[in-house]
Amino acid sequence: MQQKLQRAILVNVIPHESDKKEAMAEFDELVRLVETYGGMVILKILQKRGRPSASTFLGEGKAHEVGQLVKDMKADVVIVNGFLKPNQSNNLVNIIPCEVLDRFEMILKIFEKHAQTPEAKLQLQIAYNKYEFPKLFGKGAALSQQAAGMAARSAVSTAGGKRAARGPGEKILEVKRRHLRSQIQTLGKKLQQFRKVRELQRERRKRQDFFTIALVGYTNSGKSSLMRALTKKKNILVENKLFSTLDTRLGEVYMEGSGKRKILLADTIGFIQNLPPLLFSSFLATLDEVKEADLLLHVIDISNPKTAEQIKVVDDILDKLGCAEKPRIYVFNKIDACNPSGIAVFKQMYNTFPAVFVSALLEQNLDDLLAEIRKRLPVHV
């Protein structure tokens, strides 16, 4: 898990009838994930196939081809833009002479690299252990067969040979599973304690009468930049990388008319499409801030070709968090990088919503945003 990624080959299987250009575009997010991790993509390979091979994901011939390419191009890692079953992953590793990851493992690696607080690290470890768990189940059969082979060879003349055939592999695995299970429980308890502390902190803030605003939005939409622009604090990590904010960060804003009451801004981790449910639940703790917030700023990258889809992903996650009814301002960001007709489309589409169009980078139209926020402050502040 600690190894650094360098030269990556991306692969995927698509149905015969699909459009190759579109399928290539689906690699974009994975490319950004790889770059976020500090690697570079040297090749993208699509295989048209009825469905992924049950044993090797790519067809076996294709897998060997990729293996050869890895050697020729000196690749360090092959990443499947999908999710590998344990046996697929085991078989691919035997064919391809470098590390083979799937999307889940790639995301885990990035989370791991960026986890800063003990809480974030703990959440990761839980996600990782939970991910290992089914993998061990999958490996059970293979390991048992190996063990059975050894047992059969050594006990060939004894009558006990057959019974031994089911034993040793399963036993080792059972111990491993039990260990993982208890580890997950212990980590879970620790995480509960962290959450309690956070809860207490939040309650204290409430008692002190803070008005909390949470920045939510797709990864890379400009949440941290906006937070920085609003708080004028230059110590928030801003990077052109997905997930560069893994932990919730808080900042304070002083607003004219907000009286004695302080406004707290909470930056959050980015949302991403197809986030594996296992990871999603591990990160719920950091999203507590979102659930507790008085107001949400949904930050949107308007310069992205997939703006509309990204808005939907975030809206859906907010619904799942039970935040459907929470007051929300749509903050269309990066207007400096978008042509006027693109902006006009969203202005029209969102004319019945509270929506503002800003550039966090150039600090454009931030007053519009502050005015919208002010409208939503409780009257007594």
- Site residues (CB under 6 A) for ligand GDP? 217, 219-225, 238-240, 244-245, 270, 333-334, 336-337, 359-361
CB of 226 vs ligand GDP, minimal distance in Å: 7
Element (H, E) at 330: strand 328-333
Nearer to Mg ion, 13 or 230 (CB): 230
Pairing of strands 263-267, 295-301: unpaired
Instruction: Mark out the alpha helices in 245-339 (DSSP H runs).
Output: 277-282, 284-292, 307-320
- Closest C-alpha among 45, 69, 74 to residue 58: 45
Least CB distance from residue 288 to Mg ion, whole Å? 17
Q: How far is the CB of 266 from Mg ion (least distance, A)?
A: 12
245 makes contact with Mg ion (CB under 5 A): yes
The size of the interface with Mg ion (CB under 5 A), counted in residues, is 3
Which CB, 45 or 366, lies closer to ligand GDP? 366
Which residues make Cβ contacts (< 8 Å) with residue 188, sequence separation at least 6? 126
- Cβ-based neighbours of 206, under 8 Å, separated by 6 or more: none
Q: Select 57 or 357, whichever has its Cβ closest to ligand GDP.
A: 357
Q: Quick one: 211 or 243, whose CB is closer to ligand GDP?
A: 243
First to last CA, the chain: 49
Q: How far is the CB of 256 from ligand GDP (least distance, A)?
A: 24
Q: CB under 8 Å to 272, separation ≥6 — which residues? A: 29, 107, 218, 219, 242, 243, 313
Do 299 and 221 form a contact (C-beta atoms < 8 A)?
yes
Based on CB atoms, which residue is closest to Mg ion, 116 or 186?
116
Residues from 165 through 224 that contact Mg ion (CB under 5 A): 223-224
Least distance (Å) between residue 266 CB and ligand GDP: 12
User: In angstroms, what is the minimal distance from the CB of 239 to ligand GDP?
Assistant: 5
252 touches which of ligand GDP, Mg ion, none (CB within 5 to 8 A by kind)? Answer: none
* Other beta carbons less than 10 A from residue 300's beta carbon: 25
Specify the residue, 106 or 369, whose C-beta has the smaller distance to ligand GDP.
369
Binding residues for Mg ion, per CB under 5 A? 223-224, 245
